[in-house]
Amino acid sequence: MARLSFLGAARTVTGSQYLVEAAGERLLVDSGMFQGSRALKQLNWEEPSFDPASVRALVLTHTHIDHVGRVPLMVKRGFRGRIYCTPPTRDLAEVLLLDAAHLQEEDASYLNRKGLTRHQPALPLFVGSDVEDAMKLFETVPLHEERRLSPVYSFRLRDAGHLLGAASVELTVSEGGRQTRVLFSGDVGRFETVLAHDPELAPPADYLVVESTYGNRSHAVVPVREQLLAALTRTFARGGVVLIPAFAVGRAQQMIVLMHGLVTEGALRPFPIYLDSPMAVDATRIYSQYPDAHGVALNGVGGRSILYNKWVTTARSRTESEALNRVKGPAVIISSSGMMTGGRILHHCRQRLPHAENTLLITGYQSENTMGRALLDGARSVRIHKSEVPVLAEIANLKGLSGHGDAKEMLRWLSAVQPAPRRVFLTHGEADAAEALAARIVKERGFDSYVPSLGETVELN
């Protein structure tokens, strides 16, 4: 009898990893990093409950680190199967995992230098060469193509919206002459959003494993275009620069597309956009290589990607980045990290926040104890690189760009599931969000719904 184990993202939003076992064969869906609190991060170091060498294949839904961040670790621990995902997911995973390895190595060397570790010496979870080993095992599968791995497993990837390359996994398990279909939602995007496709509606399945990040929330209906236009117009009238902290993959490209739209429709005169992040530059190149994988056509006049239009200047080197200190408004600088927890955005903040003509435009969720959250909460000064920086610039918050559907959108995504599945498992949400979505699915669809615990194994019979 097939078994499913929830080895991550159970009553929490990170560390996605599911183990399926049937007819003596093992398969993993996602292998993400636990992020957030120290207790969660510690889980990354725990020995897996299974032997990675015994796993036949790993199927990835998408490239966010909470879904792929433990892949190099699995390989380091003996996994030698194939890693399947869409072509854009493979390309982006290489960029994101190399960056994650670099951060791991930097953190470990910092802790060792400062003597801040109980572990002597502090070690990175994985290094660049582990990522290179992992990349050799990748095999891409286009959306909708049925891929048979063995007499036991076959799967198909379906567009999940959310992010370039993101997919849901429709897994068919054949055992003892019976077929069981399990659908893993991955992260499900929003409908009618900027850049990404609408998610494909979930197909009927025997079991569904469904994300619930915003299972207890409804996104306000806010016109993103109007908010952005207002912030740019106000700042440019003051002769200021708009500084946008943005996650390098997804959010940075959405912002360029939105601003390109404002200029081409004549709402604003052309203005220079500076993209200052090597990772964002790499990701933008990958986005441009898949012009048909988005909700909008990325090819502008002459077939050139609008992400590389004449107003967008990319800064890769440190010198190019520092040269941006001399830029005068009207102009936009996009840099990372999105929550201002590190990266080049910090030197731009130090440069721009003390001046009232500028605007810091926040475009995504800011978690507790980040500089982004402090600024949103009205901090009059912030500490950057050991100096106190006064905040005189305008702080604006662009709402409506969340990458995850809310409760209503998740129910819309489930609307084509008929007949009722045997059970719906709610994962990838804090306990209250997962419970709330489970209750709504019971009430509105009458499906048996359940919120599993971390490490729990269920039988799929």
Four-residue CA torsion sign, 190, 191, 195, 201: positive
Is residue 187 part of the contact set for Zn ion (CB under 5 A)? yes
CB 170, min distance to Zn ion, A: 18
Residue 261: phi, psi to the nearest 5? Answer: -60, -45
Query: Would you say 56 or 64 has its CB closer to Zn ion?
Result: 64
- For residue 121, give the DSSP letter: S
What are the DSSP calls for 84-119, one per residue? Answer: EE-HHHHHHHHHHHHHHHHHHHHHHHHHHHHT--SS
CB 98, min distance to Zn ion, A: 18
CA distances (Å), 159 to each of 97, 310, 311, 393, 402, in order? 22, 31, 31, 40, 17
Residue 442: phi, psi to the nearest 5? Answer: -60, -45
Query: Would you say 188 or 340 has its CB closer to Zn ion?
Result: 188
Number of residues in contact with Zn ion, rule: CB under 5 A?
A: 2
CA 427, 139, 10 angle in degrees (round to 5)? 10
Is residue 11 part of the contact set for Zn ion (CB under 5 A)? no
CB 162, min distance to Zn ion, A: 6
Query: Would you say 187 or 435 has its CB closer to Zn ion?
Result: 187
Is residue 440 part of the contact set for Zn ion (CB under 5 A)? no
Query: Would you say 63 or 321 has its CB closer to Zn ion?
Result: 63
Interaction with Zn ion in 40-79: which residues (CB under 5 A)?
64
Binding mask 146-185 for Zn ion (x = CB under 5 A): ----------------------------------------
Pick from 324, 401, 323: nearest CA to 361: 401
CB 32, min distance to Zn ion, A: 9
Query: Would you say 96 or 243 has its CB closer to Zn ion?
Result: 96
Cβ neighbours of residue 424 under 8 Å, at least 6 residues apart? 207, 208, 210, 438, 441, 447, 448, 449, 450
For residue 296, the tally of other CB atoms under 10 A from its CB is: 14
Query: Would you say 17 or 321 has its CB closer to Zn ion?
Result: 17
CB 202, min distance to Zn ion, A: 17
CB 197, min distance to Zn ion, A: 15
Residues that bind Zn ion (CB under 5 A): 64, 187
